[in-house]
A and B are shown apart, each in its own frame.
Chain A
């Protein structure tokens, strides 16, 4: 009997370890999917935001990324009133350029893009495997698609959300849904990755729906167009470029 219990315990521990390794692999795969490495990436994102009692607002941004150097440049194309505003990331520093005052100020990846539900970090390199550890895995479905439901807990307090729940498709490693929770454990926002496109050997979400769970009725739909992995000139990732394009 003792032997049986011991064998069962060893078997469960081994299964757990194997599953833990699987989760790590899934997280690394998810990170790799959005990481263009030495390739440059550019796209135009159109963000349509809805708020109860307000007219839908449309924001359009041109994004340039060079993941190997942790660089990005983002220029606001629409609305007209904010046209020319831009963000520049160099390693862990993010700056915001305002063409009206012609001044650059410190900003952050946690900042929302204009008045939408999307944040700068939503359009940038993710680091699930680096920032989070698994707190539990179970099986489930999103619609009719079988998924792994992975609960993550932040390894540090550097990230915006202390807990995430990821819904990852079983048949191919793509993220279908993500729930972000506050430190107190309250669901703050749900992100649904509606459609994916292939680009440069990567799977990229071309439609993202972000729902604000604290403010019912507030949501943003991001649509990616004009995606490309063509080489981007070095000077795009400079403050001078932000100033130049705003003229």
Chain B
């Protein structure tokens, strides 16, 4: 067997140009597939991490209170929540308290609908680090009626820092209200999510939506890392369930909800309760549709893998048929000297296997080099694609088993492509092979 493998390897070396072209085709195919896999691997983590910064948390707790027929989103007293988080012993980097509303900003005849998040602009240091201001300053945010708008929204309103902007909204109970903001800063636009980025003082947002100054709607727990999200959520939920009324987590919904988060909201509409009931959800649940994008990317990679390798397989099958014809007298001589049919077949298959493994490893190595190169480019935190970037740069994660799986698939497909010419070579009669004229 070792001798057969050695001969196969030498055969590959004899035809360097051909081996290089065939191996190169395999390497190119595997490089493309690895790049897509690597991008998809980091995609969901990057989106989740960036969203967790926008929403200020990996784990969220919000309260819902039944007031007659209405359900009002609010947390009145968070002592029990804070205690449960402490008792759960989860790695909380910091804790945020936020309220928000969807309203219409009006300025000099122009208007735009947007979400405004009420935050503690003074103490949320992390927000200051993440939200880069193009114009204005965080010092302006000391104004109790300060608002920070994204570049796109400010441009649509044609508003400048210092301008007074009206906001029309509804309170948590559905009454019409009007407020007046002062534009304290304009943040860099972050693509399609630019409209998410309007921030105002929590106290003023509470006043506008009809909550008391010490009330709010959502508690966010920013953890040490995204990986800690699910275990931490489970621990906090277990602690909370002992002290306060909670909506069930992870309940399967057969009513058409597409994500666990939608199922949780549907549950809220269907159930009845007294006082405030809390729901706990994670960034992964909010973004669970992202997983569908990742699955689509992986499916696309699989389709590309198949299409590329069907083409490459045809090439390999043809090349090996040609190789067999070129070496027909050599095969005849080997057979005449006592080499068995199985060894001849094995020689061809080893050649194909070496080609596949060599090409695949080269492809993965190339992909890693390209990934490293791409991840050096700094697109900046103000890039429109910042949500899929990691700190402003492209990032990749290639699950090791997926890389191994790709190599195995390539090896099997290549062996399959070479099987017919290898079988034909093995079946050659020595005398017939020796007298064949090329």
Contact = CB atoms under 8 A, between A and B. Distances in A.
A215 B175 contact: no
B175 A162 contact: yes
B111 A184 contact: no
Given A216-B109, A217-B109, A184 B175 contact: no
A56 interface: no
B174 A182 contact: no
A161 B106 CA distance: 19
B208 A161 contact: no
Interface in B173-192: 173-179
B271 to A, nearest CB: 17
Contacts of A217: 109
A160 interface: yes
A158 interface: yes
A188 B173 contact: no
A70 interface: no
A182 B106 CA distance: 15
Given A184-B208, A214-B168, A157 B109 contact: no
Nearest to A53: B109
Contacts of A143: none
B210 A157 contact: yes
A157 B176 contact: no
B324 interface: no
A214 B108 CA distance: 10
B69 interface: yes
A126 to B, nearest CB: 16
Given A52-B109, A214-B106, A215-B106, A160 B166 contact: no
B157 to A, nearest CB: 13
A183 interface: yes
A161 B175 contact: yes
B171 interface: yes
A157 B111 contact: no
Nearest to A160: B176
B174 A160 contact: yes
B132 to A, nearest CB: 32
A92 interface: yes
A186 interface: yes
B174 A110 contact: yes
Contacts of B173: 157-158
A217 B108 CA distance: 11
Interface in A6-53: 52-53
Interface string A174-188: 000000101110101
A215 B171 CA distance: 20
A141 B173 CA distance: 35
Interface in A103-162: 110, 154, 157-162
A157 B174 contact: yes
Most buried by B among A159, A182, A188, A216: A182
Most buried by B among A183, A186, A216: A183
A243 B177 CA distance: 35
Nearest to A52: B109
B385 to A, nearest CB: 32
A182 B111 contact: no
Nearest to B208: A184
A160 B175 contact: yes
Contacts of B176: 160-162, 180, 182-183, 188
B174 A183 contact: no
Nearest to A51: B109
Contacts of B171: 157, 183
B331 to A, nearest CB: 68
A184 B177 CA distance: 6
B109 A215 contact: yes
A159 B175 contact: yes
B116 to A, nearest CB: 15
Contacts of B168: 182, 188, 214
Given A214-B106, A217-B109, A92 B174 contact: no
A187 B17 CA distance: 83
Interface of B: 68-69, 106, 109, 111, 166, 168, 171, 173-179, 208, 210
15 contacts: A52-B109, A53-B109, A92-B69, A157-B210, A159-B175, A162-B176, A182-B168, A182-B175, A182-B176, A182-B178, A183-B175, A184-B179, A186-B178, A214-B106, A217-B109
The 7 closest A-B pairs by CB, nearest first: A157-B173, A182-B178, A183-B177, A186-B178, A182-B177, A182-B176, A160-B176
